[in-house]
A and B are shown apart, each in its own frame.
Chain A
Amino acid sequence: MTSAGSVEQRYTLLGIETSCDETAAAIVRGHPDGAREILSNVVLSQLDAHRPYGGVVPEIAARAHVEQLDGIIATAMEEADLDWNALDAVAATAGPGLIAGVMVGLVTGKAIAAARNLPLLAVNHLEGHALSPRLSADVAFPYLLLLVSGGHCQLLLVRGVGRYERLGTTLDDAIGEAFDKTAKMLDLPYPGGPSVEAAARVGDASRFALPRPMVGRDNCDFSFSGLKTAVLHTIGKLDKLTDRDAADIAAAFQLAVCDVLVDRTARAMRLFHAVHAEKPPQLVIAGGVAANRAIAAALSGLCAEMGFAQTVPPLHLCTDNGAMIAWAGVERFALGLSDPLDVAPRARWPLTQLQG
């Protein structure tokens, strides 16, 4: 039994992430005493390239990844002040995500591993998020993970490296997607997360009544498409959508999302208690939506009420980054795991299909 974050031997890994619209590379080192260091963490956002389209365009993302990734890796190596010989292995996201982008990062990782005669770790992007709290803090297994991002909305029971139980997931839109679509309907700028949050701050959440999909259901699943439709109907009843209306609808939407997250997470917390009554209860929140202050405050309140310790990795480790991929690689490599050079990129890859 090892303590949180400990590895038998010091390992230094390059991590590569290209599964959505961030081109990212990082160098992370894990020490035998459990200490870990982020030696560099370089993220290039493609936000400006996708903004005119109101969402991520997969082919545009893949084209940018292939032209930027090697430069980002070179910068990560320079900032870490490392020679290739200092690396012990190469970790790259192999899915799930936008397949054309995943392919660029995985092939790049394979080629570097082959060229430098290093082991390859084909990392599940969701596992990167799931293990990221152990990179920034001493978080021991097991813990409850709420993963909220542009592409995902899941509640997971994290028992160990490669050992995940999915308690619930979204039946339709990811939570970040729901923010983006709501922003679009309200004529708010892309990306919708920050713009809806800013509008909601000055809005009256009580003026419009919006539904709380899935609340009270006997599972931990999410659904956001009904909420999106309700926003559309609310807008349709107005003569003209003023700034005031947009702010009020944004506030009502964000409050509904908070209520749904709190209800679903509370149910998952009770399941955690039932399974791990003897363990100190912990909730980790990961993914870019963790940056939303209203959501963070609502979940803090829930943790206090339910007696759960709360960990939110710093924002730069919550949004997509190479450090979490390198760290997942360190954790897997320390267990003696690695992957062959013919490993396939995967658009879909549930965490429950992982081998620990």
Chain B
Amino acid sequence: MRILALDTTLSACSVALLADSKVAGCSSDNIERGHAEALLPMVMRVCAQAGMSLADVDRIAVTVGPGTFVGIRVGVAAARAFSLALDIPVTAITTLDALAATVERETAHQPVAAVIDARNEQFYAQLFAADRHPLTPPQILQTGALVTLIADTKASLTGPGAPALATAIAAHSSGQPKIAPALTPDPRVIAQLAEKRHGQRAEMIRPLYLRPPDAKLPDARTPRIIA
């Protein structure tokens, strides 16, 4: 099976192509912005590197968030369009799941908390047990609540929010949590995770924003109808 993995949810733009469990092509650039420009040319380069065309791909793997709203949509839109035009299934992987899997080797037999800075003193976070069984759902938490959640778990921290959270934890207790550095998920790992899971129809692949749109409802007034 050939799996094309995409990640544009954080600062990097990343693509990997897995063919029969072997990495056939991979590229990752920490571009911070411009994912809508960078993604498709990168996909074409990775396919060329693997000596394949998109028509050879059997499944798409994509990170669906949490992350930047714009970045999440670039990946999900591309994945759903590939699914439609190539008639192949998609496997959705959360960014937090992908981050935890990326540091699997460094954190073997330890619980891991994958964290992404969500601004406004909040983090997107998920806690995984030593066997990578999720202990919490992916969620958005205030820094204080997350520090409390992680306090006694001895979890290693990973993800782009790890250094900031480690500082917050150190300020609350004497312990200094271990950091397994990963600014971005490894796209090869995303493809490998997808290989173990099922593919789904494209309409099942929905962004995981974890935060509602920033829009305020105006004062409720019943509009007059003149006709």
Contacts and interface: CB of A to CB of B under 8 A. Distances in A.
Contact of B36 (A71, A107, A246): A107
Contacts of B39: 107, 110
Interface string B70-103: 1001101110111111100000000000000000
B218 A54 contact: yes
B209 to A, nearest CB: 8
A119 to B, nearest CB: 13
Which of A67, A70, A342, A344 gathers the greatest number of chain B CB atoms within 10 Å?
A70
A107 B13 CA distance: 14
Contacts, number: 130
Which of B217, B221, B224, B225 gathers the greatest number of chain A CB atoms within 10 Å?
B224
Given A198-B226, A246-B224, A114 B40 contact: yes
B78 A111 contact: yes
Q: How large is the interface on B (under 10, 10 to 19, 20 to 34, 35 or more residues)?
A: 35 or more
A247 B224 CA distance: 10
B207 A63 contact: yes
Contacts of B209: 63
A274 interface: no
A66 B73 contact: yes
Contacts of A135: none
Interface string B207-227: 101000111111001011111
Interface stretch (A31-39, A98-106, A161-169): A98-106
B82 A189 contact: no
Interface in A170-228: 186-190, 195, 198-199, 202
A69 to B, nearest CB: 7
Given A54-B218, A106-B36, A246 B226 contact: yes
Nearest to A187: B224
B223 A187 contact: yes
A93 to B, nearest CB: 13
A53 B218 contact: yes
Nearest to B71: A103
Q: Is chain B's binding surface mostly helix, strand, loop or mixed?
A: helix
B203 A342 contact: no
Contacts of A195: 223, 226
A117 B221 CA distance: 52
B36 A243 contact: no
A116 interface: yes
A341 B203 contact: no
Interface string A17-52: 000000000000000000000000000000000001
Interface string B38-79: 111101100000000111000000000000011001101110
A67 B208 CA distance: 12
B155 interface: no
Contacts of A115: 54-55, 81-82, 85-86
B202 interface: yes
B44 A84 contact: no
Nearest to A59: B213
A27 B113 CA distance: 48
B22 interface: no
A112 interface: yes
Contacts of B80: 66, 69-70, 108
A57 interface: yes
A104 B79 CA distance: 11
A70 B217 contact: no
Contact of A70 (B38, B202, B227): B202
Contacts of A73: 81, 84
A62 interface: yes
Given A59-B214, A66-B207, A100-B70, A243 B81 contact: no
B226 A199 contact: yes
Which of B40, B43, B78, B217 gathers the greatest number of chain A CB atoms within 10 Å?
B40
A46 B43 CA distance: 31
A295 B221 CA distance: 29
Contact of B84 (A106, A112, A187): A112
Contacts of A59: 69, 213-215
Contact of B226 (A62, A103, A202): A202
A74 interface: yes
A354 interface: no
Contacts of B78: 107-108, 110-111
A342 B41 contact: yes
Contacts of A187: 221, 223-224
A189 B81 contact: no
Nearest to B212: A59
Interface of A: 52-54, 57, 59-60, 62-63, 66-67, 69-71, 73-74, 84, 100, 103-104, 106-112, 114-117, 186-190, 195, 198-199, 202, 243, 246-247, 250, 340-345
Interface of B: 34, 36-41, 43-44, 53-55, 69-70, 73-74, 76-78, 80-86, 202-203, 206-207, 209, 213-218, 221, 223-227
27 contacts: A52-B217, A63-B207, A67-B203, A69-B80, A74-B84, A103-B36, A103-B70, A107-B36, A108-B78, A110-B81, A111-B40, A111-B81, A112-B81, A112-B84, A116-B85, A117-B54, A117-B55, A186-B224, A187-B224, A188-B223, A188-B224, A189-B225, A195-B226, A243-B224, A341-B40, A344-B36, A345-B36
